[in-house]
Amino acid sequence: MTEPRTLSVLGATGSVGASTLDLVRRQSGAWRIVALTAHSNAIELARLAHEFSAEIAVVADEARLPELREALAGTGVEAAGGPAALVEAAARGADVTVAAIVGCAGLAPTMAAIEQGGVIALANKEALVSAGEVMTAAVARHGATLLPVDSEHNAIFQCLQGNDAQHVHWITLTASGGPFRDWSWEQLTAATPAQAIKHPNWDMGAKISVDSATMFNKGLELIEAHHLFPVGLDRLRIIVHPQSIVHSMVEYRDGSTLAQLGPSDMRVPIASALAWPQRMDTPCEPLDLAAIGELTFRSTDEERFPATRLAREAAQEGGGIPAVLNAANEVAVAAFLDGQISFTRIAAQVEHVLNAYVPPPPGCLSDVLAVDSEARARARQLMETA
């Protein structure tokens, strides 16, 4: 029997974390769990850490550590709390680290895992968007392997295998268009958090669901693709594909377009990253194209959904600008979910912060974190004065 591979899941209690652990549960004996982490749900984290016999469980919110300790007493699983403990746990290294924390909060632990040189299965797009070259340079320096879990990027990664990247003509990211793709501007101004988090095709965490509704998700993904597949920004484009079956496409200069298709189930791209360069079985519903009937495509509307324009401009400017875009968006999404601002204010507020704050290009992790924190402060200040 082959030795189990070691695995850490950063953000184990979330949607991507749950899908990852569902696959691991079905491959008993194939994995040994090093670290599982969560923000504040100590009880759920303890349950998972016990079930998977993790070496260590970390709750980022230190106030929940006593609860975690109590829940794990006598199980043999170490308990730790706070942001520094999160980074230390990630730095224990594992053959594969699934980076599934939401937001820039996942950046420092993801960088700590990268420094150990293993495979990083990256779902946490905000970390790559914010850190950009700081992250890709660390990956190269430490001999780590960055495998995209985001379904579009995983699709592109698969379509590039065995092909000559020099011959790429276009990389086309597909977008479902979110729950509001057919809404008028007037309707958008009145959209509620409950409506925004109800995605038509995917079952995801609240933040990415709102991003999907504003199209900031696709904007962040454009920047993510720019770092993962350096073919040039002008070769990256976005197309709306409401069925979310074609997860993205690569068109070569000889006229061949390769696409990856699959059900709207994150276990497909997660399995691809976990098993890479091999394949593994998943319990996902097979694709029934005859039942789906039609795959349709249309262009994006940047009048109603300015997020992709803002993201493209931020990627063009580079340096610390994408980190500002990301931070301003995180603050705006939280404010929208909290009922403080309207849906259409999200993009307006991000644009405002981008116009007001042009940081110097970050050269290291602490520079990125400083830009992130300054952009957040400015975004919050803007809301207070608006």
- Distance (Å) of CA 103 to CA 39, 63, 240, 331, 333: 12, 20, 24, 10, 11
The binder of ligand NAD chosen from 105, 155, 236, 331 (CB under 6 A)? 105
Mask for 185-204, x = binds ligand NAD (CB under 6 A): -----------------x-x
CB atoms within 10 A of CB 303: 8
369-372: Cβ within 8 A, 24+ apart: 369/104, 369/107, 369/108, 371/130, 371/320, 371/323, 371/324, 371/327, 372/104, 372/107, 372/130, 372/323, 372/326, 372/327
Task: Tell which residue, 78, 144, 84, has the closest CA to residue 113.
Answer: 144
Q: Does 125 bind ligand NAD (CB under 6 A)?
A: yes
Q: Does 126 bind ligand NAD (CB under 6 A)?
A: yes
Residues 212 and 199: their CA atoms lie apart, in Å, by 8
CB atoms within 10 A of CB 10: 31
15 is annotated as contributing to ligand binding: yes
Residue 115: exposed, middle, or buried by beta-carbon count in 10 A (0-12, 13-18, 19+)? middle
Contact partner, 208, from Mg ion, ligand NAD, none, Cβ < 5-8 Å per class: ligand NAD
Q: Which of residues 272-301 bind ligand NAD (CB under 6 A)?
A: none
150 is annotated as contributing to ligand binding: yes
Pairing of strands 168-175, 246-252: antiparallel
Q: Does 17 bind ligand NAD (CB under 6 A)?
A: yes
Pairing of strands 246-252, 96-99: unpaired
218 is annotated as contributing to ligand binding: yes
212 is annotated as contributing to ligand binding: yes
326 is annotated as contributing to ligand binding: no
The binder of ligand NAD chosen from 33, 57, 102, 188 (CB under 6 A)? 102
Q: Does 33 bind ligand NAD (CB under 6 A)?
A: no
Contact partner, 46, from ligand NAD, Mg ion, none, Cβ < 5-8 Å per class: none
Residues 216 and 334: their CA atoms lie apart, in Å, by 14
DSSP string, 162-188: TS-GGGEEEEEEEE---TTTT--HHHH
Q: Does 39 bind ligand NAD (CB under 6 A)?
A: yes
Contact partner, 160, from ligand NAD, Mg ion, none, Cβ < 5-8 Å per class: none
Count Cα atoms within 13 angstroms, Cβ side, for 302.
Answer: 13
Q: Does 312 bind ligand NAD (CB under 6 A)?
A: no
Listed ranges 12-20, 71-79, 283-291, 303-311: which one lies at the site for ligand NAD (CB under 6 A): 12-20
Q: Does 112 bind ligand NAD (CB under 6 A)?
A: no
130 is annotated as contributing to ligand binding: no
Contact partner, 241, from ligand NAD, Mg ion, none, Cβ < 5-8 Å per class: none
In the chain, the amino acid numbered 97 is: T
The binder of ligand NAD chosen from 6, 7, 16, 94 (CB under 6 A)? 16
Which tokens in the block code for residue 212?
């999907």
Q: CA-based angle 144:145:151, to the nearest 5? A: 145
Shortest Å, Cβ 158 to ligand NAD:
15
Shortest Å, Cβ 206 to ligand NAD:
6
Q: Which residues are annotated as a binding site for Mn(2+)?
A: 150, 152, 221
Q: Which residues are annotated as a binding site?
A: 13-16, 41, 124-126, 150-152, 176, 199, 205, 212, 217-218, 221
Q: Which residues are annotated as a binding site for NADPH?
A: 13-16, 41, 124, 126, 205
Q: Which residues make up the interface to ligand NAD (CB under 6 A)? A: 11-17, 38-39, 60, 100-102, 105, 123-126, 150, 202, 204-205, 207-208, 266
